[in-house]
Amino acid sequence: MSEPASVDSTIDSAASRESPDWGQIGRISLVSLFVTSLVVAQLTAAKVLAFQLPFSLPVTGSTLVLPGAALAYALTFFATDCYGELYGRRAAQVVVNVGFAMNFVLLALVWSTIQAPAAQSSIDPATFRTVLGASTNIVLGSLLAYVVSQNWDVLVFHRLRHATDGEHLWLRNVGSTATSQAIDTVIFVSVAFFLAPTLLGVGVALPGSVVAALVVGQYLLKLLIALVDTPFVYAVVGFLRERDGSVVDPATAD
């Protein structure tokens, strides 16, 4: 009489092995999105983008200028907000701190490649240095902005979570991101496009008016993204909360 039970157990065991582990997939996906966006942001920030607007804004006028990294870096806040909501403040801070360390890895790899001898078939080493060497200013500005803004984002996100007893995910997503992005934008643009080039002599320091326009343009885009990505935060959190038994209780998480 025990044979059917044994067969059922074998079938259940095989089914469990074949079904995807959404908890593991969710964690890896969010961390991968965070690190990928962070690295892409460092390598694309040197290009200054300009978008013509049908209206005029203070400081920027009718042209919205922003670093090329604005979109990629905004995704890092999306990833940490989802991760922190699902797995708690301490887990989110671990991700933030590991990402901070990866900036140094990026810097070491870029400069070791710049200093390595080039083959005759290579692209012009001077051009290569000009393009990727500017990432030094970007990384320096990003490191300072990153360590302040990302930890601020995690802190505010969880303070709002406790204040609302785990309710109103939209409020902590927008509130934490809006304030942390303001801090991040001012520090990053000032250091990467003015202070670092001036003090280190690497790259070109932009005029103060352009730096101010970059701050306004980048922050407006980041604020817009924070508003637009809120439904996606709900979707990701809801999807993984139903499938991952390791997620934290939003009302009691630290």
pLDDT at 12 over 80: no
- pLDDT, residue 252, reads 54
* Helix residue spans in 116-207 (DSSP H): 125-133, 135-163, 169-190, 196-200
Kindly give, in sequence order, each residue whose CB lies less than 8 Å from that of residue 48, ignoring residues fewer than 6 positions away: 65, 66, 67, 68, 206, 210, 214
When comparing pLDDT for 15 and 221, which is higher?
A: 221
Amino acid making up residue 218: Q
- pLDDT, residue 34, reads 93
pLDDT at 18 over 70: no
pLDDT at 65 over 90: no
pLDDT per residue as tens digits for the range 155-165: 888 888 888 88
List, in order of start, the domains of the chain with CATH numbers: 22-243 (1.10.1760)
pLDDT at 251 over 70: no
- pLDDT, residue 10, reads 55
- pLDDT, residue 29, reads 93
pLDDT per residue as tens digits for the range 68-120: 888 888 888 889 889 988 888 888 889 988 888 888 888 888 889 989 999 98
- pLDDT, residue 31, reads 93
Amino acid making up residue 216: V
Question: Rounded CA gap, 46 and 72, in Å?
Answer: 13
- At 65 the three-state DSSP class reads strand
pTM score, two decimals? Answer: 0.73
In Å, how far are 13, 92, 177 from 85, measured between CA atoms?
Answer: 31, 9, 13
Burial of 7 (0-12, 13-18, 19+ CB in 10 A): exposed
- Compute φ and ψ for 54, nearest 5 degrees: -80, 5
pLDDT per residue as tens digits for the range 221-245: 878 887 888 889 889 988 888 877 6
Question: Rounded CA gap, 61 and 64, in Å?
Answer: 7
